[in-house]
Amino acid sequence: MAKFEIPSEQWAQVVEKSGGPVVYKKIPVQKPGPDEVLINIKYSGVCHTDLHAMMGDWPLATKLHLVGGHEGAGVIVAKGDLVTDLELGDYAGVKWLNGSCLACSFCMQADEPLCPHALLSGYTVDGSFQQYAIAKAAHVARIPKECDLEAVAPVLCAGITVYKGLKESGARPGQYVAIVGAGGGLGSMAIQYASAMGLHVIAIDGGEEKGKSCRTLGASAYVDFLNTSDLVQEVKNATPDGLGPHAVLLLAVQEKPFQQATEYVRSRGAVVCIGLPAKAYLKAPVFDTVVRMITIKGSYVGNRQDTQEALDFFQRGMIKVPIKTVGLSELQDVYKMMEEGKIVGRYVVDTSR
Ligand SMILES: [Zn+2]
Ligand SMILES: [Zn+2]
C-alpha cells in the first residue's frame, strides 16, 4: 500500500465573507474521520454554483469561512478505520454530494441527493478548492486509474448532472432529445452523453459559432434562437415526422426557453429542468399538458451509481470536455469572467499553483 507524506498546512481559496472575494491563503490540513477519506486534490473544475456559494445569493445558507469547489479529482492519501473498499493511492473525486445519512427513505432508495441531511461540497462543508479535501468514503467518486485527473474533473458535477438528466428524461436509443443551451459547458457534455446513449440531438443555442461546435460534437440539427422566425416549428421540423423531440433538456440560465419547451416537445414527451435561472418560474398551458400527456420534471445531480456510469462513458473515450486550466491562485479571475458571461467551455484549477 502506498504511503503519503501529508503536510500540516496547505494552499486554499477561502470565502471569508458572503459576497467574496476568495482569499488565497494557507490553512490547516484536516484529518479524516472514521468513515471519511482525505483526498489530495490535483485538479478541480469550476462550476457556476461555486460563484453562487461565494456571493451567497441562493436561498440556502453556506458555511463560513468556506472552501468552495465540488469537481475535485485527486488521490486518496489517508482514510478512516471504517473505510475498507478504498486504498491509499486510489483516484477519487469530490462531488457536490459530499455525504448523506444513508438511512433515510431517500438514501435507502438511492435518491441520496434528496437526503434531508446531505452534506454539500463547497457549500455546507469545505470542498475542492484546496490541496487536501475530506469526503465521506461512501460518496466519493471512484475514478478509474486510466483517467486523466485534469480532464475528468468536470465530469464530477457537469457530467453526472447532464447524464442523470438524460436518464430521467426516459428517452430511449433512436429517439430525439432537444438540448437547450447546447453550446455551453453543460450542453457540450450533454450532446456527447446523448449521442453515446444512442439518442439523436437537436441542439438549441444562439450564434453560428455555437452551432458549429454543437454539430462537431454530434448534434444532428442546430436551431439558432437568434436567427429563427419560429423556434417551435423549427425544432419540430428537426424530427423526421415533424411531431417534435421525445424529450427536452433545459440547461439554459434564462427563463424564456423554459416556457417554450412544452410547445415543441412531442406528445407523451418529457421536459427536464436542470439549469437554474435566478428567480425563474415554469409556466405551461394546462390544456396542452393534459391532452398531449406532457411530463415536466426536475433533475438534480446524480446518485453513486449515476456517478460511476458517467465516469464509465468518460473512461471509454466517449466524452471530451473542452477545458482551460489555470492555477488555483487565479480562481477570483475565473469568477470575474463568469460574472461577465465570458466563459467558453469549462475552467479547471490546478492546485499546485
Ligand atoms: Zn456544479
Ligand atoms: Zn439520507
Compute, in angstroms, the gap from residue 163 CA to the centroid of ligand 2: 22
Ligand nearest 138 Cα, by number?
2
Ligand nearest 112 Cα, by number?
2
The reported pTM is 0.96
Dist CA 246 CA 177 (whole Å): 6
Cell numbers of 32, please? 479524516
Ligand nearest 70 Cα, by number?
1
Compute, in angstroms, the gap from residue 118 CA to the centroid of ligand 2: 7
Ligand nearest 100 Cα, by number?
2
Compute, in angstroms, the gap from residue 50 CA to the centroid of ligand 2: 23
- CATH superfamily for 9-157+302-350 is Medium-chain alcohol dehydrogenases, catalytic domain (3.90.180.10)
258 touches 264 (CB < 8 A): no
Compute, in angstroms, the gap from residue 120 CA to the centroid of ligand 2: 13
The Cα-based distances of 333 to 22, 121, 131 in angstroms read: 10, 21, 19
- CATH superfamily for 160-298 is NAD(P)-binding Rossmann-like Domain (3.40.50.720)
Average pLDDT of the residues of the chain: 95
Buried b / exposed e over 288-321, threshold 16 CB at 10 Å, is eeeebebbbeebbbbbbebbbbbbebbbeeebeb
- Over 90: is that where the pLDDT of 2 sits? no
Q: What is the pLDDT at residue 314?
A: 98
Task: Give the relative orientation of helices 48-55 and 331-339 as an angle to the nearest 10 degrees.
Answer: 100
Compute, in angstroms, the gap from residue 350 CA to the centroid of ligand 2: 32
Please name the residue ranges forming H helices in the chain: 48-55, 105-108, 149-152, 158-169, 185-196, 208-217, 231-237, 256-264, 286-291, 304-315, 331-339
- Over 90: is that where the pLDDT of 255 sits? no
pLDDT in tens, 136-158: 999 999 999 999 999 999 999 99
- The amino acid present at 252, given as its one-letter code, is A
Q: Per mean pLDDT, which of 251-260, 285-294, 343-352 is the most reliable?
A: 285-294
Average pLDDT over residues 23-42: 98
279 secondary structure, DSSP code: T
Compute, in angstroms, the gap from residue 141 CA to the centroid of ligand 1: 14
Cell numbers of 169, please? 428524461
- Over 70: is that where the pLDDT of 117 sits? yes
Compute, in angstroms, the gap from residue 63 CA to the centroid of ligand 2: 20
Compute, in angstroms, the gap from residue 300 CA to the centroid of ligand 2: 15
Average pLDDT over residues 12-27: 97
For CATH 3.90.180.10, list the domain ranges present in the chain. Answer: 9-157+302-350
- Over 80: is that where the pLDDT of 118 sits? yes
Compute, in angstroms, the gap from residue 103 CA to the centroid of ligand 2: 5
Please list the residues that pair with 243 across neighbouring strands: none
Compute, in angstroms, the gap from residue 97 CA to the centroid of ligand 2: 11
Compute, in angstroms, the gap from residue 169 CA to the centroid of ligand 1: 20
Compute, in angstroms, the gap from residue 70 CA to the centroid of ligand 1: 6
Ligand nearest 161 Cα, by number?
1
Ligand nearest 71 Cα, by number?
1
Dist CA 136 CA 214 (whole Å): 37
Compute, in angstroms, the gap from residue 137 CA to the centroid of ligand 2: 15
Neighbouring C-beta atoms of residue 336, cutoff 10 Å: 12
Q: What is the pLDDT at residue 283?
A: 87
266 secondary structure, DSSP code: P
For CATH 3.40.50.720, list the domain ranges present in the chain. Answer: 160-298
